[in-house]
A and B are shown apart, each in its own frame.
Chain A
Amino acid sequence: MLESIPTLLGPLVAQADAVSQPYLLEARQMQALSLAVHIPLVCFGISFPAVVLFVEGLWLRTGNPVYKQLAKRWSKVMLILFAIGVVTGTILSFELGLLWPRFMEQWGEVFGFAFALEGVAFFVEAIFIAVYVYGWDRLPERWHLASGIPIVIAGVAGSSLVIAVNGWMNTPQGFELDAQGNVTDVSPLNALLNPNLWHEEVHMYLAGFIVVGAIVSGVYAVAWLRGRRGPYYRAGLVVPLCVLALAAPAQIVVGDWAARTVAETQPIKLAAFEGLHETTEGADLTLGGWYADGKVYGGVSIPKLLSFLAFHDPNATVTGLDQAPEGDRPPVAWVRNSFQIMVGIGTLLALLGLWFLWCRLRHGRLPRSRWFYRFVVAAGPLSLVALIAGWIVTEVGRQPWIVYELMRVEEAVTGAEGVPVGYATLVVVYIGLAVIAAVMLRRLARRPPETELERGAGEVEVLP
């Protein structure tokens, strides 16, 4: 009898907890931290396999062993980052349930199908990455190249499906709500193919190529500045630079498309991008500057540019934050400043890419200025900052909603008390993972590239 009392009280206690999670902010930070750790790894999952296969293809075509060394070396980097991504992705899967159980409970059946498919893609990726990396020199050449193709497809498919869920959180559709607010008439396909999917997907896909292009070429730019300019280092520099130079300018066009879609589907979010308080006809755009205390300090104001960019009409009316009740507005400073950082860095990277293309196409050589290589070294970390800033724009810009205009984050959060303990644990864990990644990549980088031709298998660990 006594034992059944806690069970009887359980539901009541849980209900009471649902409205009072004192650590909501910590829960959000914990989720944001996990995403910020995972997303750079996702970039490598999206685009790096394609780059590695391209280099392996160059080897098969030209027979130049430098390409083989590079492809094999990079495939090991790919495996290390994938293995860490498996761990950080697992943390995220747990967190979705551990931190936001009510979100999963109510909406899981609507968007879950995308995650189910993503699980499949992840599976395919895990299988073929093992075959590809451990199969160097053991599988026939063409079969080895072919075993990498599923990795490319699965990497793109998997990230698209997760982005479909994010798009859905921003423009939820594919279901009905009954009188009690329960989800009915779910259409999983309709939920998956939401209006925010397309631009978010292309935007992220290009971001993947930019981040990989910038980070990898940055590593070889360091070598270049230190005077290591042999064919191996040259190929290692030029291939990712080409990737960066093609993706970064294209991203500007896609960014414009993304902003216009947000202007249509989430006008308040767009207002937060720009820090626009009043609904304005022919709204100006302020480039740069820093938003604090409700206004922009500094920056250059260009008349009617915001209306023009958002609607391709200089006199169009742009919705301001005043159209939403105070409690329904996102934290503008975070969103606007992150947006400016993303756009600013994106523009710099595009200019860097154009510089490279100009020298390459016009003069048929690499840039000679040492400053070019210094910028390439800086481009790696900068691209990561832009990537994270971009996700802050889309995620914080959606606040206070977890499901846009349908569920607030405080309605979704767990009642569990252990949030700060979990948060602290995760911080320690991520520091540990970062150290491991650094140690393993450094160990790999220290081995002379020629060893890639000697060693049979593509194992990563060197047993002492």
Chain B
Amino acid sequence: MLEEIALIFLLVGLTAYAVLGGADFGAGFWDLTAGSASRGARMRGFIHTAMGPVWEANHVWLIFVLVMTWTCFPAAFGPLMETLYVPLFLAAVGIILRGAAYALRGEAATISEARGLGAMFALSSILAPFFFGCAIGAIASGEVPAEGDASRPFGVWLNPTSLLIGALAVATGAYNAAVFLAADAKRAGIADLAEAFRRRALGAAIAAGALALGGLAVINADAPDLFDGLTSGTGLLAVIASALAGLITIWLVASGRFEPARYTSATAVGAIIAGWALAQRPDFLPGELTFEDAAAGTPTLTFVVIGVVVALLIIVPALYVLFRLKLEGRLGEPVQPIPGAPTEEERAG
């Protein structure tokens, strides 16, 4: 019972990170594809401003997931970290490079420096979710032994299922980011950017949907147990719920109703994460370690569950205030374009 509650908290944290952190990463994807320095300037400036006040808070969900795993499921955390050290380390490096480039790009002295930093920001925005996705794929396809295995640093995650889920993580983040940015742009009254993100959201939704459907065939061939879990019983229900939420989001986005689309797109992500957990139930590490065996003792779980509930009472209202203020435009500067660095004439002027 307790370990199930802890697991639900863990999954909620993972969903929050996949949605909010994923959208931050996705914003980097749209930055990469915004076009030439002059054409993409407004979009890049808007993305930069929209991320400003919230990226630290979005990022903390990752810490929450790590801490919940090592405290509540220590027997799984050890082997996970030991076995998947390559993708997890690369994801961590991606997070660092991304934060660094984001902070520095306004400082670039030349156009090529600005482009270089912009590219680093965008590229690391893609790599981080990709490697996290690969790590999840390796867990889901049963590659992680209960004793940990550092002897196959690449073999464990360079397989079709892992790569697929890595790609899916990137696509989902891009799609969520486009939905959120469209909503932000509409609120800010910038109609053309809202329209631009609307089109991008639809494109990304189709890409993510196609990847998910095509991916089922890959999973069927590569990880049949996972496929069975996702296509039967409660796992199937979650997959259907996710697909439905995705379709509703597409409909909402297509008709320009971005605010409700924020929530339905988050639901789609949450449902597929729940589906993953249901598909491999009762195992944490499929075929190796059950949730029950991985779980910490009752006293620890009791303390953490009570602690998280109390914490939510503090954090949820605080987060509400932050997002409220941000959405009302009461935090931060008005949008300014990022055209790369100023030219000599601009500097002189």
Tell me the A residues contacting B by CB distance below 8 Å.
Answer: 6-7, 10-11, 13-15, 17, 80, 82-83, 86-87, 89-91, 93-94, 96-98, 101-102, 104-110, 112-113, 115-120, 122-124, 126-131, 134-135, 138-139, 150, 183-189, 414-418, 422, 425, 429, 432-433, 436, 439-440, 443, 456-457, 459, 461-464
Contacts and interface: CB of A to CB of B under 8 A. Distances in A.
A394 B65 CA distance: 29
B304 to A, nearest CB: 5
Given A109-B296, A119-B63, A457-B331, A91 B103 contact: no
Interface stretch (B45-53, B246-254, B261-269): B45-53
Contacts of B92: 90-91, 94
Given A83-B56, A418-B153, A122 B332 contact: no
B299 A186 contact: yes
B150 interface: yes
B338 A463 contact: yes
B72 A112 contact: yes
Contacts of A135: 325, 330-331
B234 interface: no
Interface in B302-349: 303-304, 307-308, 311, 314-315, 318-319, 321-322, 325, 330-333, 336-339, 341-342, 346
A7 B82 contact: no
Contacts of B299: 185-188
B16 to A, nearest CB: 11
A422 B99 contact: no
A131 B322 contact: yes
Q: Of residues B296, B319, B331, B346, which shows the largest number of chain A Cβ atoms within 10 Å of its Cβ?
A: B331
A115 B70 contact: yes
A373 to B, nearest CB: 31
Nearest to A188: B303
B324 to A, nearest CB: 10
A102 B70 CA distance: 11
Nearest to A455: B333
Contacts of A6: 152, 155
Contacts of B337: 463
B147 A108 contact: no
Contact of B149 (A11, A86, A433): A11
B330 A113 contact: no
Q: Of residues B52, B103, B307, B346, which shows the largest number of chain A Cβ atoms within 10 Å of its Cβ?
A: B103
Nearest 6 interchain pairs by C-beta: A112-B71, A105-B78, A109-B296, A108-B74, A97-B81, A134-B331
B111 to A, nearest CB: 10
A131 B325 contact: yes
A98 B308 CA distance: 25
Interface in B258-308: 296-297, 299-300, 303-304, 307-308
Interface stretch (B83-91, B187-195, B199-207, B211-219): B83-91
Contacts of A97: 66, 70, 77-78, 80-81, 88
A126 B55 CA distance: 9
Contact of B107 (A86, A126, A188, A439): A439
Contacts of A128: 318
A120 B315 contact: yes
Nearest to B155: A6
Interface string B97-122: 10110011011100000100000000
B229 interface: no
Nearest to B66: A93
Given A127-B318, A131-B321, A94 B71 contact: no
Contacts of B80: 97
A456 B63 contact: no
Contacts of A457: 331-333
A168 to B, nearest CB: 13
B244 interface: no
A109 B300 contact: yes
A7 B145 contact: yes
B79 A112 contact: no
Q: Of residues A91, A97, A122, which shows the largest number of chain B Cβ atoms within 10 Å of its Cβ?
A: A97
Contacts of B106: 461-464
9 contacts: A10-B145, A14-B147, A83-B56, A86-B60, A123-B60, A418-B153, A425-B93, A463-B45, A464-B338
B168 interface: no
Given A112-B71, A130-B56, A139-B330, A98 B81 contact: yes
B75 interface: yes
B99 A86 contact: yes
Given A94-B92, A98-B88, A124-B314, A459 B52 contact: yes
B148 A14 contact: yes
Contacts of B8: none
Nearest to A82: B56
B12 interface: no
Given A135-B331, A457-B333, A414 B82 contact: yes
A157 B29 CA distance: 36
Given A90-B62, A130-B57, A457-B331, 4 more contacts: A10-B145, A97-B66, A104-B78, A113-B304
Nearest to B318: A127
B64 A123 contact: yes
A429 B70 contact: no
A15 B146 CA distance: 12
Given A112-B300, A116-B71, A416-B153, A436 B307 contact: no
B255 interface: no
A14 B85 contact: no
B150 A440 contact: no
Given A109-B296, A120-B307, A13 B330 contact: no
A123 B307 CA distance: 14
A115 B63 CA distance: 10
A279 to B, nearest CB: 38
Contacts of A416: 82, 85, 150, 153
B31 to A, nearest CB: 14
Contacts of A150: 318
A108 B71 contact: yes
Contact of A90 (B59, B79, B314): B59
Contacts of A83: 56, 99, 103
